[in-house]
Structure 1
Amino acid sequence: MALHCGSERRWSRVVKMTFYLFFLIPMSSVGNRNTNTIFNKKQKLEVQQQLKRLNKPALKSIESPDGDIIDCVDINKQPAFDHPLLKNHTIQMRPSSYPEGFSFNESNDVSSNSEPKLTQPWHLNGRCPEGTIPIRRTKEEDLLRAGSAANYGRKKHHSIPNADSAGITHEYAVLVEEGDKYYGMMANMNVWNPNTGDSNEFSVSQFWMTAGQSAEDYDTIEAGIIVNANRYGDYQTRLVTYWTDDNYRTTGCYNLDCPGFVQVDNQIATGATVTPYSIYGGTQRTVEFYVYKDINGNGDWWLKIAQRNFGYWPSSIFSLLSNSASSVQWGGEVINLKLGDKHTTTQMGSGHFPEEGPGKASFFDTLNVIDGKTILRRPWNSRTVITNPNCYNLINSGDYFYYGGPGRNPNCP
């Protein structure tokens, strides 16, 4: 597929911008981080209207032991189809083909009733029926923590993991593959529950697939695991996805918090917690992510989680990523607010340095990219981005790496 260009590209951007101004901006501030703030009637009404937009009617609701409510929503009535470019979209239940070199156990496809290789606490109290998808219900307090409806679902701190744009509040230990066109990637990461030093900080382990260089034209799709108390109100590790078509400015969001991503799986919920965690010196729990651009189909970016066809980002919601990605990144990121002029104690990954090795340090393995020839291969044009190795580090070994760290320590004051 070719890049959108000329008037077609500008029109696509106008449609997207108009929609997001309607969907996100009209809401006035719904309060600050203090969820006890008193609101006037108009603000309360706006909060309720936003909740109604976000929470689609459920055919079944499941109370999770961790306090979440998972709504089983008709697959045809999910948030994706509020996007103006997806009004007449036909759901695809699987990619039309797979790249050379990729093997996949079809028994784990979304069409089967097999147990997922990723477990979430809400599974203990029920499952979503066929023809529905599980969506974590947005609560009023979630909106209040965001500070405004315009902020809900979007990143408060924008930064891309490369040496030029890593701001002082961001710390990275990331492996970057670039120098080719990319149509997908694979990665397996182990699951930890890192401590965060402040509720306004987060710790995430994920992949990024990006296209573009300028501040205005920069597309990305992302997925991984995160601890983010400001967003979720707790310190649990949660499954997370993200996308943007304009460098995080007005388009895109976490999970299904805005229209765009089309989910087809009925067993895994983004935004929900992931358990159990890896044990330091003991059993390692992992989750596998796989992304593939269906170039023989509609050009959509398919996401597999734990070997299941989870869903896809339609090509039409992107400009640059409607063609291909120009880089792939894997690794960890934390927010460092430098409270008291000290480095944060927020941990990355296991909270231990990569030098500690197997069973103790965080890792990504089975690293692969789908290159310009649509062949699955190991990374070979890679470099590391490590903002402060005394706080968080990365040791690369080709198709796997160890990364992470404790944050503040005697060598990282």
Structure 2
Amino acid sequence: MAPTPTCLLTLVVALTFLLLEGPAAAAPMTAERQREVQSLLKQLNKPPLATIESPDGDIIDCVHISKQPAFDHPLLKDHTIQMQPSSYPGGLYHDSHPITQTWHQNGKCPENTVPIRRTKEEDILRASSIRMYGKKSPGSIPNLNSINGPSSTPSVTSGRHQYGVASAPVGKGYGTKATFNLWRPTIARAGDFSLTQLWISAGSGNDLNTIETGWQVYLNLYADNNPRLFIFWTNDGYQTGCYNLCSGFVQTNNQIAIAGTLSPVSTYGGTQYDFDILVFKDQKGGNWWLQVGSSLVGYWPSSLFSQLADSASTIQWGGEIFSGDAGQTSTQMGSGHFPHEGFGKASHIKNIQVVDSSNTLNPASGLQLIAGQPHCYNVTNGNSGDFGTYIYYGGSGKNPNCQ
């Protein structure tokens, strides 16, 4: 008997769901799997003292500062919270741009709490596996195969990751500050992501340490296409480490939600919106502090790291996309437009500075450019009075020249 139109429609919907959501959504919810999901939710979601419902659908839990997930990490069991750095880098000669998060429309968290975006069951089920929720795969950092000078675009060993990045080998670096242009790039598939970030790294292989922060659009992680503030760290080449407020990062700020939506976003040929990110190593305590806009958010304790316990050897800035169809995807990087289009059309990172051994911010120099497929995604750099050291980066992905 031929299938009815209703049956065919049901089949199409089911197949579309499987294609978009991947194996995790298709996996049966066995009793064991349900227990694993609930165990992870209990670990991630701490009892709140207050709760705020955001207009974008997020639930923000205001968790007591001493109960945050950071202290689940075995190295931080007896950690004493540092509320302020011992000093700031000198040379902060550019004004900080404030940031706005959507959840602020409905309230703020009280003193002695930190805002944490609540993880839901469906968030975990969108991941490729429960074990991989909130994690990155190895090879998630731009790597140079060869360097031909500061204006080169060397090939990249990146697998399904594509980059438009500027890299500065710094010998001994102690942080960076830059101003990040904010956009909402189009994502082709639910499993793709597009981000703009900085990397602070040292070591290699299984001893690679990184601190990462910026904004990203990642449907499978956040269930929407909003640009969100994110952080990430690893101390073993991405074997472990995780996005946002998992164990490790100690938040001290009660107004900035890691993983919260950032707004407003820039428009092509229209108003541009930027915000500043500063990451620096505290001279006395050794912790790596994060400041977003004019607000100190918190820190990565030095005890988490082997290589970064001392200093960084490389600092990078730029865009990254991930896709199972790398080279064929139409997932956008930055604004979705190429660097040659310039201000207001291509995405930029400006006033790029590096903290040196004297705890002073200086303009980054000697930048090496990384674009493995420049006809898909590219990056250029320059220097000007208003922009300081800057890059334009991004691209549309799949196009007649992108092979």
TM-score, normalised via structure 1 length: 0.85
1:410 counterpart residue number? 400
Q: Distance in 1 between matches of 2:89 and 2:300?
A: 18
In structure 2, the residue matched to 1:283 is 271
Q: Alpha-carbon deviation of 1:53? A: 0.9
The alpha carbon displacement at 1:375 in A equals: 2.3
Letter in structure 2 aligned against 1:140:
E
Cα distance, 1:307 vs structure 2 = 1.5
Cα displacement (A) at 1:203: 0.6
Equivalent residue for 1:38, pick from 22, 28, 35: 28
The reply on whether 1:392 has 2:346 as its aligned counterpart is no
Q: Trace 1:277-356 onto structure 2 (pairs within 5 A).
A: 277-295=265-283, 297-338=284-325, 343-356=328-341
Q: Could you say which residue in structure 2 is the equivalent of 1:22?
A: none
Pairwise mapping of residues 3-402 of structure 1 onto structure 2 (< 5 A)? 33-35=23-25, 37-102=27-92, 117-156=98-137, 158-164=139-145, 166-213=157-204, 215-250=205-240, 252-257=241-246, 259-295=247-283, 297-338=284-325, 343-398=328-383, 399-402=389-392
Structure 1 residues 48 and 149: CA distance shift in structure 2, 3 A: same
Q: What is the one-letter code of the residue matched to 1:263?
A: Q
Displacement of 1:394: 1.2
Q: Percent identity?
A: 51
| Aligned mates of 1:54, 1:336 — CA distance in 2 | 27
Counterpart contact for 1:33–1:144, Cα < 8 Å: no
Asked whether the 8 Å contact 1:75–1:264 carries over to 2, the reply is yes
Cross-structure match for 1:3: none
Structure 1 residue matching 2:267: 3-state secondary structure: coil
Aligned to 1:400, the other structure's residue is in SS state strand
* 1:158–1:168 CA distance, 2 compared to 1 (3 A): closer
Q: Distance in 1 between matches of 2:101 and 2:92?
A: 27
Give the number of equivalent residue pairs.
368
Q: Larger deviation: 148-157 or 323-332?
A: 148-157
Kindly state the Cα deviation for residue 104 of structure 1 after the two structures are TM-superposed: 8.9
Would you say the 8 A contact 1:134–1:266 is kept in 2? Answer: yes
Q: Residue deviations 1:171-224, cap 9 Å, x none? A: 1110001142100100111100001111111111000000013x1110000000
Asked whether the equivalents of residues 160 and 166 of structure 1 are also in contact (C-alpha less than 8 Å), the reply is: no
Query: Match of 1:201, as an amino acid?
Result: D
Given that 2:143 and 2:158 are in contact with CA atoms closer than 8 Å, whether structure 1 keeps it comes out as: no
Task: Give, in angstroms, the shift of residue 166 of structure 1.
Answer: 2.7
CA distance in 2, matches of 1:124, 1:69: 13
Distance 1:309 1:221, change over 3 A: same
> Mind listing any 5+ residue stretches in structure 2 that lack a counterpart?
1-20, 146-155, 384-388
- Check whether the contact 2:139–2:159 (CA below 8 A) recurs between aligned residues: no
